[in-house]
Amino acid sequence: MSIKNLKCTVAYKGTAYSGWQKQQNFPTVQGLIDYALFKLFGGEIKTTGASRTDAGVHAMGQVFNFCVETKFEPDGIRKMLNGLLPQDIRIKDCVEVDYNFSSRHNAREKFYRYIIYNRSTMPPVYNDIAWHVYDRLAPARIHEILPLFKGKKNYFTFSASSDAKRYEREIKSIKIKVSGPWIIMDFRGRSFLYNMIRRMAAAFVDYARGTTNMADVEKMFEINDRANLTSTAPAHGLQLVKIIYNKHNPHTKAEVL
């Protein structure tokens, strides 16, 4: 048997979990995957995730990798893991990659989506997957402030308290789409600070509501003070859509995302 480095794409509904990262005494997605791997292979397996999602945040395309000595084929491992995991965690695919591949360090870009339902009443079926904003917004106004987010910026005001050593980030793109009651905010970037997207979504809603103006948003970048932005959008409206890798990544044996 040979040691294989396996790259898996996983989708999950984050409602019941305290985020992705394994924690003591709290149910997490990584913790359940690690336990399923332990039961499958009879020993501790260390997984590495591409991105750390917070409690209540969902994922369509989280990626993790792990090394294991096994005779099983990757797709067989996928099927067996799904048989051991709860229904709100599904392994979508599993492929063998180069031994030096890291789902975290080789990631080129992360694609997050924030979903808002903007009507006075929201069907209960959407309760866990969208932020229900009752008062009518003017989402077209958000495009007025998007130029402020271009280029490398200091996002201290848009972050929550964390152990980050630097707060400069560059967002590759932000797209706002509206369809009936739905407001979809798509964010792409190399990396994001803790709660950064949720706080940006809250700032966009405040601006679309008319409770803040251009000068208020400019101040959020000019003065590093979290008090300039007092709200954070709820976790359940956020989902990790995809982790993007270079198409010809030298560390992969199979096609990347």
Residue keyed to tokens 């491992």: 77
Q: For residues 154 and 137, give the distance between their C-alpha atoms in angstroms, rounded to a whole number.
A: 27
**So what's the pLDDT on residue 161?**
73
Under CATH, to which class is 112-239 assigned? Answer: alpha beta
Q: Residue 12 forms beta bridges with which residues?
A: 59, 89
Q: For residues 172 and 187, give the distance between their C-alpha atoms in angstroms, rounded to a whole number.
A: 8
**So what's the pLDDT on residue 163?**
66
- Positions annotated as catalytic residues are 54
**So what's the pLDDT on residue 32?**
98
Neighbours of 74 (CB within 10 A): 18
Q: Say if 2-106 and 112-239 have the same CATH topology.
A: yes
Spans of all domains in the chain? 2-106, 112-239
For residues 155, 156, 158, 163, the Cα torsion angle rounded to the nearest 10 degrees is 110
State how beta strands 238-244 and 58-70 pair: parallel
Under CATH, to which class is 2-106 assigned? Answer: alpha beta
**So what's the pLDDT on residue 247?**
73
- Assigned token pair, 169: 């980030």
**So what's the pLDDT on residue 254?**
42
Q: Mean pLDDT by 10-residue block, N- to C-terminus, for the chain (257 residues)?
A: 92 97 95 98 96 96 97 97 98 96 96 98 97 96 96 93 83 97 97 95 97 96 91 97 79 45
Backbone angles phi, psi at 71, to 5 degrees: -100, -10
pTM of the entire structure?
0.93
